[in-house]
Structure 1
Amino acid sequence: MENQWIVGVDLGGTTTKLAFVNTNGEIAHKWEIHTDNSDEGLNITTNIAKAIDEKLVELGISKKDLLGIGMGAPGPVNYEKGVIINAVNLGWKDHYPLKERLETETALLVMIENDANCAALGEMWNGAGKGAKNLVCVTLGTGVGGGVIANGDIVRGINGAAGEIGHITAIPSGGAQCNCGKTGCLETITSATGIVRIAKEELVKNGTNGFLAEKLAENGTISAKDVFDAARNNDTLASKVVDEVAFHLGFVLANIANTLNPELIVLGGGVSRAGTILLNQVKEKFTKFAFSPVKESTDIALATLGNDAGVIGAAWLIKNHKKI
């Protein structure tokens, strides 16, 4: 085999993405398995080990051609110990020893990192941030995650909770309840869930006409994509929602940039697929609130790796550890 491969794993609550990634950050093979979170997540590592073994057999490759396994997992991670501090949706709690379990199951070196941090590393290695050593990655999905990279290394903080951009308080009082237990978090506004909540509240207050009102009447619900589609068609209510989302995101990103002065802020996750209608407004708000030297030196761009960012960034953990 021309290149040895690294196994990249992006562990989600419903689906686990796996990939064989070469040392240039390119995916050779990728596939998915169901995440079995029954029995307090007891089967997760066994299923990943089995999936890797089956793929090796299918491709006629020996395990000795694998350099190790990098994994992104949801929730705070103790990187040094390879321990998941808490991942409720996986059934894991009380410092789950993920690295140790997976190394036992696979007999391979395993490195563990938070999933949003892995997405940031993926974009730095082979995506929108290629060549940048100081960047912030924000994933806008069902929730809002974040990863901060300074001088090429992830900023983890004292207990692995650094970069939790989604839990920056955007509305100090009277904000919506967040899953984290706080209220008014950025996640309650700029996640797909938050966008839908705001749009439904606006429809209750003001909306009997327009695209979103029709969608809601027709389907009984609306999506974040519906909101952006309506805004593109100059729907007044949808445009108001997008403006509110962009305001809060631009405001928070400006304050992050004022603190960190990154070269680049990368927006990823499903919501980022809205494209320029979101990006341009976020940039406008960012410019308003960013400190002058920061405004001149920090760009905001859309992620380019999509759903592959997590597995590529996870693979980078092994590349970096082995100094390849």
Structure 2
Amino acid sequence: MDKLSIGIDLGGTTIKMAIVDPKGNIVEKWEIPTDTSNNGRNISQDIADSLKMKLENANLELKDIEGIGIGAPGFINMENGFVYHAVNVGWENYPLKDDLESKTGLEVIVDNDANIAALGEMWKGAGKQASDLICITLGTGIGGGIISNGTILHGTNGMAGEIGHITSIVDGGADCNCGKKGCLETIASATGISRIAMEGLDQNPTSVLNKTLGKGMKVSAEDVFNAAGKGDAWAIEVIDSITHHLGLAIANMANVINPSRIVIGGGVSRAGDLLMVPLKNEFSKYALPRVQDGADFAIASLGNDAGVIGSARLLSLKSQN
């Protein structure tokens, strides 16, 4: 019998886990809370305990499992699975691979959470197994993963794909969590869209978004897209602005990578055509014609399963090499 793989997507709030077959189908999935106390030192043991229980309940043994693939946030050494810094879970200089292997008895492969989402979408989702793909996640921040010739592009020290930290506003712009100013993440993330929308409400008193602010609630990215769908002029202006910056950044990446698929995921992607139509228009202004001809846009289709499927794929890719 072909061996199964364990895919894990480690987040700051929950740890998503799945047993995945060699074709990328989820056999069983579950999640456990992320214990960030004690600088996240309990996480590996929590994973091991939960996995042991699941395998016993499924009448599976360690010999039935190929290994564990895990996507983690933060800065990672892909060779040895060492996490230099992961703010959301409290890790600093943490040997994730070694620790998890010692606690589970299984081989562990570690990669960045944005990369494994891209890998999942490529394998079983909107990427449609494209060998050259850019996946961008628009959520609280902006994550990015690049697949080149069927392989995750890591760069010299694991930092490839950081589209959220492309400088979009030179000599100014909002402060970014990375320490720079004017990063794309400060503009086109859900947080950035909210900030920009609220900053302009004083100059746009007729915008329906003032009603949300008047109720004492923060204007969300979802509020902005809903208002734009109803024809609100300020909301439409905000979307035009953020898709300009996002489309320009994606076009510049595409001119270098020449992808066949550009997959947009994360909570902001739920806006559908209200996001994608102006985004494609802006992309077309800056992408080379042949690059544009070769690149199809798609909204990510796997949702929360992208991470666990992509993590499991790490094992099958290693066995192919």
TM-score (norm 2): 0.97
2:138 maps to which residue?
140
Alpha-carbon RMSD across the aligned residues, in angstroms, is 1.3
1:116 maps to which residue?
114
1:122 shift after superposition: 0.4
2:126 maps to which residue?
128
3-state SS, counterpart of residue 93 of structure 1: strand
3-state SS, counterpart of residue 207 of structure 1: coil
Q: One-letter code of the match for 1:98? A: L
Q: One-letter code of the match for 1:49? A: A
2:279 maps to which residue?
282
Greater CA deviation, 58-67 or 309-318? 58-67
Distance in 1 separating the partners of 2:221 and 2:53 = 38
Identity over the aligned pairs, expressed in percent? 53
2:33 maps to which residue?
34
Distance in 2 separating the partners of 1:54 and 1:4 = 18
Q: One-letter code of the match for 2:249? A: V
1:319 aligns with 2:304: no
1:282 shift after superposition: 0.5
Q: One-letter code of the match for 1:78? A: N
Q: One-letter code of the match for 1:286? A: F
1:84 maps to which residue?
83
Given candidates 211, 220, 225, the residue that maps to 2:222 is 225
Any residues of structure 2 matched to 1:7-26 within 5 Å, and which?
7-26=6-25
TM-score (norm 1): 0.96
Greater CA deviation, 214-223 or 65-74? 214-223
3-state SS, counterpart of residue 70 of structure 1: strand
Q: One-letter code of the match for 2:221? A: A
Aligned length: 321
1:53 maps to which residue?
52
3-state SS, counterpart of residue 149 of structure 1: strand
Runs of 4+ in structure 1 over 3 Å off? none
Distance in 2 separating the partners of 1:45 and 1:84 = 13
Gaps of 5+ in 1: none
Q: One-letter code of the match for 1:50? A: D
Distance in 2 separating the partners of 1:219 and 1:72 = 37
1:3 shift after superposition: 5.3
1:68 maps to which residue?
67
Gaps of 5+ in 2: none
3-state SS, counterpart of residue 320 of structure 1: helix
3-state SS, counterpart of residue 301 of structure 2: coil
1:153 aligns with 2:151: yes
1:292 maps to which residue?
289
1:191 shift after superposition: 0.8
1:99-157 deviation line (CA, Å, top 9, x unaligned): 00000010001000000000000011111112210011111111101011110011101
2:256 maps to which residue?
259
Q: One-letter code of the match for 2:57? A: E
2:42 maps to which residue?
43
1:224-275 deviation line (CA, Å, top 9, x unaligned): 1111111111111111111111111100001001111111111111111111
Q: One-letter code of the match for 2:71? A: G
Distance in 2 separating the partners of 1:295 and 1:66 = 42
1:174 maps to which residue?
172
1:45-81 deviation line (CA, Å, top 9, x unaligned): 0011111112123333323222111000012221111
1:92 shift after superposition: 1.0
Q: One-letter code of the match for 1:268? A: G
3-state SS, counterpart of residue 88 of structure 2: helix
1:27 shift after superposition: 1.1
Distance in 2 separating the partners of 1:53 and 1:39 = 23
Greater CA deviation, 261-270 or 61-70? 61-70
Distance in 1 separating the partners of 2:216 and 2:55 = 44
3-state SS, counterpart of residue 91 of structure 2: coil
1:306 aligns with 2:303: yes
Q: One-letter code of the match for 2:119? A: L
Distance in 1 separating the partners of 2:294 and 2:171 = 33
3-state SS, counterpart of residue 171 of structure 1: coil
Q: One-letter code of the match for 1:262? A: P
